[in-house]
């Protein structure tokens, strides 16, 4: 009978333990840092999309003969309203915009990693302060000082 009772108590305590573990997991700094990174990354993605669509591509399109790249496509099948068929097309212009966005994000990430690596190298090259003496060294220094001053007599 006590075996059944132990199983019931263990089953009742399991959700509390799982909840506690989950709370500890969420409270860790790495998880919170990751969440902040994802949120900032999403916002940065929107900025890059706007940069490419509204700043980079219009001058490129103008140089190439007033072309709006986001609308460029190869039509495989034209729309037919009488048969209710939608247009089938390969949107290579939007794909080019996405490639440019990727290159910009990759360049920014590369520069951030390069900056972090150079900061780590500088930190590693900085002279480390001398380590604090061990208790044995402190005791030996006191003994040496006492012997020098003749305080042992």
64-119 pLDDT, tens per residue? Answer: 777 777 788 888 888 888 888 888 888 888 888 888 888 888 888 888 889 888 88
Q: 3-state DSSP call for residue 133? A: coil
- The whole-angstrom separation of Cα 151 and Cα 9 is 68
Task: Report residue 25 as tokens.
Answer: 């997991």
Element containing residue 61 per DSSP (H, E): helix 57-63
- Residue found by looking up tokens 């040496």 in the block: 144
The pLDDT of residue 11: 59
CA distance 92 to 118: 39
In the prediction, which pLDDT does 66 show? 73
Burial of 89 (0-12, 13-18, 19+ CB in 10 A): middle
Give percent above pLDDT 70 in the chain: 88
- Residue 15 or 140, more confident: 140
Q: Tell me: domain 2-128, CATH 1.10.1200.120, correct?
A: yes
Pairwise CA distance, residues 151 & 140, whole Å: 14
Report domain extents, the chain: 2-128
């Amino acid at each position: 009978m006590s075996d059944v009772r132990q199983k019931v108590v263990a089953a009742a305590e399991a959700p509390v333990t799982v909840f506690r573990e989950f709370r500890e997991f969420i409270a860790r700094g790495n998880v919170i840092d990751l969440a902040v990174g994802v949120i900032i990354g999403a916002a940065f993605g929107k900025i890059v999309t706007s940069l490419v669509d509204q700043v980079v591509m219009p001058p490129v399109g103008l140089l190439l003969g007033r072309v709006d790249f986001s609308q460029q496509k190869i039509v495989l099948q034209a729309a037919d309203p009488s048969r209710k068929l939608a247009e089938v097309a390969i949107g290579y212009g939007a794909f080019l915009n996405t490639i440019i966005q990727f290159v910009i994000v990759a360049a920014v990430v590369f520069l951030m990693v390069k900056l972090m690596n150079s900061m780590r190298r500088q930190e590693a090259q900085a002279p480390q302060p001398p380590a604090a003496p061990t208790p044995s060294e402190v005791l030996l220094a006191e003994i040496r000082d006492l012997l020098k001053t003749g305080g042992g007599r």
